[in-house]
Structures are given as structure tokens and as C-alpha cells.
Copies of this chain bind each other. A is one copy, B any other.
Amino acid sequence: MYEFDEDTVVEQVGPGVFTGRLTDRWDIGSVPNGGYVLAVALAAVRRTLPAPDPLTVTVHYLRPAAPGPVQVHVETIKIGRQYSTASARLLQNGKENARVLATYGDLSAQMSAPTHVFGAAPELPPPEAATAQSTPGFVPPATAFGRRVEIRPGRTIFDPLQPGEPPELSGWLRFADGRPPDVHALPVLVDAFPPVVFRVLPPGWVPTIELTVQVRARPVSEWVRCRFRTRFIFGGLLEEDGEVWDENGTLLALSRQLAALPR
């Protein structure tokens, strides 16, 4: 069993009530990665809804989570022919840490629909060659999360920005233990890169207020390539936009988060 699957196991203990455990293997510092917290909540949603794919998922983070037991309460909002929607509350010690709103569907249902794609995966050397570009410090080496998800960046956060260039990071991602990515892993992968804002402001804790992931296709390759960009840093807030692409150039997911500035 792969680490991601072990660490997102939930057990149903009542109608819509699940128990699980946030392990410390996905920590950034001493706080579980937000994408991982979302994935644990979605593990319970997935058990509740009949449709296989998370089409669009939004989480509002209310308090930092901590490694340890969790309860997930799932409310089924609608079971539809095409789409099914649920809400989930993730609780620790009786306090709600995150609220999720998710609509699931079937990504294989309309493969023959009209296709118009404007946009392409980031140009990167193959993952084997990208290793050399990965500098120590890109992901804090002491971070547990950095041992779960391997990042091979196209450039490091310490490269100076060209004038007028929006801060961007791109690179390859995979689970370090070789787990093949699937639609359920994408919420972790969109939150795996260090915040792009570190290319502009001194690093610090960047509290995510809200994260939305729209999943557009099922991954088929071991590596995925990502691009993250932040364009608007003002008023104490920033957005981070992400794209995740398959090795073969299929768009897998779009993400956007709203976060507060590093503190």
C-alpha cells in the first residue's frame, strides 16, 4: 500500500460520519499540508457519492490542522444523474478545521465532446534531466512533505525575476514512493510546490484561506508537470493559480487559492 493511500484511510462509523488520522508524514513544519488535509476529507466524500471523479472541489481552511485523529462529517447534498454534490466538515478535538464543498461526476462520460484547447504544458527538460536543476532549499529538506512528494523544478525560487515578469514556478511532480497519481491525488499535488510568492516576498507562513481544484482528466503517467503563478499581491492577499498536466500534454487540473501574505 502506498503512503498516500495509507494516510488517507477513513472508516465509516455512522451515517455520514467517518474517522481517520492525519499522519505527520505530510507536514510542512509541524502543520499538515493543506492539500493533504483536503484529500483526507475527500476520502470520506468519495465513499459517499456514486460518481467517480472530483470535478470541482473547494475547501475553506478555518484553523491549522495538526497530526492526529480526525472526524469527517459528510452531508450528501444531491445525488444526480450527471453530478453529485456533498459538503464535508473536518474536525479535530471537536473543532472544525476545514469545510469542503465538492461536486463529483464522470470524466469518462463525454470523451467525444468538441475539443478546443488554448494553452500548453510548461516546457521542461525530461524529469530525469530536471534533477540537476533541483537545488537544496527549494523544498525545505527537513520537511516531511518533501519526502513524500518529489519535485523537480524547472527553475528555483531563488532565481531572480526578470523585470515585469510575473512570479511563476514550474516543474515535475511525483509521489516519492512511486504511487501512480490519480484524480484523488491531484488536490495534494496542486498544493505541493512552495508558494510562488517566495519569488517576490521573503518566505514565511502563507495561510491559505480557500483552495479550489477543478479536475479535468484522469492522470495516466507517473510524473505530472505543473505551473503555478501569482499575479496580484496587494491588500494583504494573493491568489495562486495552478495548472497540472500529464506527461503526454493533457490538462489534468486547474487550481486557484486565495492566501494571506507570508508572515
Contact = CB atoms under 8 A, between A and B. Distances in A.
Interface stretch (A19-27, A126-134, A219-227, A228-236): A228-236
A16 interface: no
Interface in A46-71: 55-56, 58, 60, 62
A261 B113 contact: yes
A110 B262 CA distance: 13
B60 A235 contact: no
Interface stretch (A2-10, A152-160, A173-181, A207-215): A207-215
Contacts of A231: 117-119
Contacts of A212: 58, 210, 212, 256
Contact of A258 (B78, B109, B115, B214): B214
A242 to B, nearest CB: 12
A167 interface: yes
Interface stretch (A32-40, A99-107, A142-150, A184-192): A99-107
A116 to B, nearest CB: 4
12 contacts: A55-B209, A56-B60, A58-B210, A60-B77, A60-B85, A62-B80, A87-B99, A103-B210, A115-B234, A116-B201, A118-B232, A254-B256
Interface of A: 55-56, 58, 60, 62, 77-78, 80, 83, 85, 87, 96, 99, 101, 103, 107, 109-111, 113-119, 164-167, 200-201, 209-210, 212, 214, 216-217, 231-237, 239, 251, 254, 256, 258, 261
